[in-house]
Chain A
Amino acid sequence: MADMIQILVLGLALGGVYALMGSGLSLVFGVMRIVNLAHPSLVMVGAYIAYWAFRLGGVDPMVILPVALVILAATGVLLYKLVFEREARSAKYSEMTVLLTFALAMVVEGALGTAFTNTQRVTSPDYATDAFFIGSVFIPKGQLYSGIVSLTIISALALFLKYSAFGNAIRATTQNRDAAELLGVNVNLVGLVSFAIGIGLAGAAGALVSFVFSFFPAKHWEWIAILMSLVVLGGMGSILGTVLAAFILSIVAAYVGFFFGATWSTLTFFVALFVVLLVRPQGLFGEKPELA
């Protein structure tokens, strides 16, 4: 029984970071219909920023997190202006962004590999290897902190989307772009800001990932499949759905890992991806896909 609770705790603790990575991806898809395969490669950039800030300056990854967020958000603005804005009206936009972001992921991976080699890295503040104990159940501090910070950021995002005028404009654009435009929303600005927020969240997640997992430039390929499964299970474009999916799948993966061995736990995400697409393609909170 204690084992079962222990696994639940470990799964819960990881869910937060997954949720943070997934929500950025989901936001960008929801508003812009961009399937951003480069999202985890940009998470890696955030992780390297945190790694070097810690190694060279001894700065705590959670302190550098806002910096990573801002740097990546600025990168997002640049990418949007250079790459994604011009074709936004194209009928095949989503399909095209798959190829565009695939190429972008390879460029980012190549650049990181050239700059920092393919050595495995992990940021190692004291808490990353420490734990709290509640009876016999231990909670790794690193994972706990990353989970709390992730949920704080996601809550801030949710409050912004729900209660600010611009946040409402973002949601409106996601749900009905033409209608939002007719009501005077500058949908291009909404696209730009949401893209910047989404990429900024990748940077923030990177800072947290840097002390929760070991990483190297090509690691993002492993992440993209996991993140896609979260976004699909949650319902494409639904941030609440993505967060729930992150917790469900990371808990299931933790149990799968315990019963069948760690090799099998990643499989959870792929199986979920298959099953959701076959049984309920719209996911938990998504729209039924239109036949077009």
Chain B
Amino acid sequence: MSALLQVSNVTAGYGDGPAILNGASVKVEPGKVHCIIGPNGAGKSTLLKAIVGMLRIREGDVTFKGESVKGLRPDQVLRKGICFVPQERALFPKMTVRENLRMGGYSMRDKVDLERRIDEIEARFPILKERRDQHAGTLSGGQQQTLSMARTMILRPEIVMLDEPSLGLAPKIVAEIFDIMRVMTEDGITILLVEQNALMGLKHADWGVVLDLGRTLFEGPGQEILNDPRIQELYLGGRKAA
């Protein structure tokens, strides 16, 4: 199968600072859940930020459906069909749930269509309908994450990238978050996920990518990587567990 998104030997860092990514490569195939794991400071979040254009790519290339998206601004990458949910969930705390959803479709011209899509989202995530007039800042952590993920679906993107969606959530809620990811893939959305909690991330992923020191160490089906002795070494061996 040809890659939907291909990250090839990317080098990037913050401002004029040292490179955080040193030739990272990731191949994203359509319709699957991909999980990037790696110890602290491996460059997982940095990789997602480089893909959406929040960071300048110094070397290497990122192609989406064969076309380079390197050097595009975040809003341009968004219009190509790549949504990004950063770690801090990127909600507007003093806007209502409905208004937050509406902001998800800010780049849409057809506002009637937008309202219809919001209704669809509300039908699929009843909690969002229930809380529609409540400020997003008053939602629980799990509900906020649900809102962030549901909001990306409004634009019907091809790829949704999630930076540690499970951060700070109780295990039961985390399971719900992974269920939502499944729902998204059933909709034909491809997921690229970064997880600090490697075990859980890999358990739910079709494909795992192990990143360390800004480089791709190895990749493979999630279950395989889970049982790979190198993982044990990376997390429990010479280096401290993340």
**Which positions in A face B, CB cutoff 8 Å?**
165, 168-169, 171-172, 175-176, 178-186
Contact = CB atoms under 8 A, between A and B. Distances in A.
Interface string B68-104: 0000001100110000101000111111000100111
A182 B84 contact: yes
Contacts of B94: 171, 175
A171 B99 CA distance: 10
B92 A179 contact: yes
A172 B103 contact: yes
22 contacts: A165-B106, A168-B95, A168-B103, A171-B95, A172-B95, A172-B103, A178-B54, A178-B86, A178-B90, A180-B92, A180-B103, A181-B74, A182-B52, A182-B54, A182-B78, A182-B84, A182-B90, A183-B103, A183-B104, A184-B75, A184-B79, A184-B107
Nearest to A179: B90
B230 interface: no
B95 A183 contact: no
B111 interface: yes
Contacts of A168: 95, 99, 102-103, 106
Contacts, number: 60
Contact of A179 (B86, B99, B111): B86
Contacts of B102: 168
A180 B86 CA distance: 12
Interface in B94-123: 94-95, 99, 102-104, 106-107, 111
B78 to A, nearest CB: 5
A175 B92 contact: yes
A182 B53 CA distance: 10
A182 B111 CA distance: 19
Given A178-B86, A179-B90, 9 more contacts: A165-B106, A175-B93, A175-B94, A175-B95, A178-B54, A180-B92, A181-B74, A183-B78, A184-B79
Contact of A169 (B52, B54, B79, B106): B106
A180 B91 CA distance: 9
Given A181-B74, A181-B75, A184-B106, A172 B92 contact: yes
B154 to A, nearest CB: 10
Q: Would you call the interface of chain A mostly helix, strand, loop, or mixed?
A: helix
A176 B95 CA distance: 11
A184 B107 CA distance: 6
Nearest to B152: A183
Nearest to B114: A165
Contacts of B92: 171-172, 175-176, 179-180
B221 to A, nearest CB: 31
A186 B94 CA distance: 20
A181 B92 CA distance: 12
A172 B78 CA distance: 17
B95 to A, nearest CB: 6
A234 B12 CA distance: 42
For B79, B99, B103, the residue with the greatest tally of chain A CB atoms inside 10 Å of its CB is: B103
Contacts of A179: 86, 90-92
A182 B99 contact: no
Contacts of B93: 175-176
A182 B74 CA distance: 6
Contacts of B86: 178-179, 182
B99 A183 contact: no
Nearest to A187: B75
B75 A185 contact: yes
A285 to B, nearest CB: 9
A78 B63 CA distance: 40
Contacts of B54: 178, 182
4 closest A-B pairs by CB: A179-B90, A184-B107, A184-B75, A175-B92
Contacts of A185: 75, 103, 106
B78 A184 contact: yes
B74 A165 contact: no
Contacts of A169: 103, 106
B91 A183 contact: no
A101 B92 CA distance: 29
A186 B79 CA distance: 13
A168 B99 CA distance: 8
A172 B106 CA distance: 11
Contacts of B75: 181-186
Contacts of A181: 74-75
Contacts of A182: 52, 54, 74-75, 78, 84, 86, 90
B160 to A, nearest CB: 12
Contacts of B78: 182-184
Nearest to B83: A182
A88 B99 CA distance: 26
Contacts of A172: 92, 95, 103, 106
B111 A165 contact: yes
B140 to A, nearest CB: 18
Nearest to A175: B92
